[in-house]
């Protein structure tokens, strides 16, 4: 009887401890310089425990790429709100859609059924290749199976002069390639001033990564970086951002990486077009975030004109 009473008491206490919680999120989505209309957006409560995930709200962007979602859920602990975006921007002919997830900070959670403030993700270019992207295969039409071929010249020793010929061909195919990127960074509704940004060529092979440019955001949160390097294959440009927005008292800085689409790389030392990431709220908790423990302090120096040429510092 005592055990049964204790269990009943715990169940009653848990019932009273369950809280109704709400959250709201808004933003603007672009694909390049075109509003991303009709994009599916969903607001989820992603639970880490045994409780199933809950869809709190869903909808689509309007003709201007804008959306607003709000919803609520009842949980014993704090809800874990996540914005999920399903889109086909810069996706080619592939099954399903690109799927990205943005975690909403817990400071935007409100007790009750109505959110007191709305989390603004900013104005985001969906061409960005985010870390931890997934695919939503709503309809599996076909599978891409690698082409099987017969091995040729198996076990046959190639003449030594082919190695020299290969080196000559490689040397002649090394190409100078350039890229430019710009954007605006926010921390909530405040411009993220003095944030360190770097432009890298991250090579997947044995070739070491190359830093193409670096700088800091200006007083309005804008930045502009450009650089070039020589490679046999296409370069793999990556924007890295090191910041302390919504980070509390922790060692080092938050580090996020955005892959720049290959369509924005140009032959030569000058990029033909600039990749605009848009206006991004750094409060977003991005998938695949890292920490940079060895960070250099911001040096108060005049902004180099190389990093912000006239007319290129501001975009969307």
How buried is 156 (Cβ within 10 angstroms: 0-12 exposed, 13-18 middle, 19+ buried)?
exposed
Q: Please name the residue that has the structure tokens 């940079």.
A: 292
- Of residues 215, 213, 221, the one with CA closest to residue 238: 213
Cβ pair 159, 205 in contact under 8 A: no
Asked if domains 18-136 and 171-307 share a fold, the reply is yes
Identify any residues that bridge with 97 across adjacent strands, giving them in sequence order.
136
**Minimal CA–CA distance to 87: which of 50, 121, 124?**
124
Domains of the chain: which residue ranges?
A: 18-136, 171-307
Mean pLDDT, the chain cut into blocks of 10 residues (316 residues total): 49 61 98 97 84 89 98 91 97 93 96 96 97 80 38 47 49 84 98 98 78 98 97 93 94 96 95 98 95 65 42 66
Place of tokens 């490679």: 231
Question: Residue 3: what pLDDT?
Answer: 52
Residues in the chain: 316
The pLDDT of residue 153 is 42
CATH number of 18-136: 2.60.40.3330
- pLDDT value of residue 225: 98
CA 244 to chain centre: 17
171-307 CATH fold: Immunoglobulin-like (2.60.40)
Query: What is the rounded distance in angstroms from the CA atom of residue 282 to the CA atom of residue 244?
Result: 9
pLDDT computed for residue 140 by the predictor:
40
Query: Measuring CA to CA, how many Å separate 124 from each of 6, 100, 237, 239, 315?
Result: 52, 12, 18, 15, 11
Phi, psi (deg, nearest 5) at residue 166? -60, -45
Distance CA 126, CA 61 (A): 13
Angle at 74 between CA 71 and CA 77, to 5 degrees: 115
Neighbour tally for 39: CB within 10 Å: 21
Question: What are the E-state strand segments in 188-312?
Answer: 190-191, 196-201, 210-216, 222-231, 237-243, 253-259, 266-267, 275-281, 285-286, 290-292
Residue 177 CA to residue 276 CA, distance in Å, equals: 18
């Amino acid at each position: 009887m005592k055990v049964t009473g204790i269990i009943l008491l715990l169940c009653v206490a848990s019932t009273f401890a369950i809280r109704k919680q709400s959250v709201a999120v808004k933003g603007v989505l672009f694909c390049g310089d075109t509003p991303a209309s009709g994009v599916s957006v969903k607001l989820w409560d992603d639970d880490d425990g045994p409780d199933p995930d809950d869809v709190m709200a869903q909808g689509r962007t309007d003709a201007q790429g804008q959306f607003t979602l709000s919803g609520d859920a009842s949980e014993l602990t704090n809800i874990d709100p996540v914005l999920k975006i399903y889109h086909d921007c810069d996706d080619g002919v592939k099954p399903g859609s690109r799927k990205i997830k943005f975690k909403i900070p817990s400071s935007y959670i409100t007790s009750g059924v109505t959110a007191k403030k709305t989390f603004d993700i900013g104005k985001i270019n969906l061409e960005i290749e985010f870390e931890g992207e997934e695919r939503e295969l709503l309809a599996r039409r076909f599978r891409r199976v690698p082409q099987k071929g017969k091995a040729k010249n198996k076990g046959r020793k190639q003449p030594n002069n082919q190695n020299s010929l290969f080196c000559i061909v490689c040397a002649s195919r090394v190409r100078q390639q350039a890229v430019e990127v710009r954007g605006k960074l926010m921390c909530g509704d405040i411009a993220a001033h003095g944030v360190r940004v770097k432009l890298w060529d991250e090579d997947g092979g044995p070739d070491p990564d190359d830093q193409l440019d670096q700088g800091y955001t200006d007083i309005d949160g804008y930045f502009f970086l450009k650089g070039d390097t020589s490679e046999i294959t296409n370069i793999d440009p990556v924007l890295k951002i090191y910041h302390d927005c919504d980070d509390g008292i922790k060692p080092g800085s938050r580090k996020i990486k955005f892959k720049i689409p290959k369509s924005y790389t140009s032959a030569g030392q000058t990029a033909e077009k600039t990749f605009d990431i848009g206006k991004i709220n750094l409060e977003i908790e991005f998938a695949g975030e890292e920490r940079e423990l060895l960070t250099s302090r911001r040096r108060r120096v005049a902004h180099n004109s190389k990093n912000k040429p006239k007319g290129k510092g501001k975009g969307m």
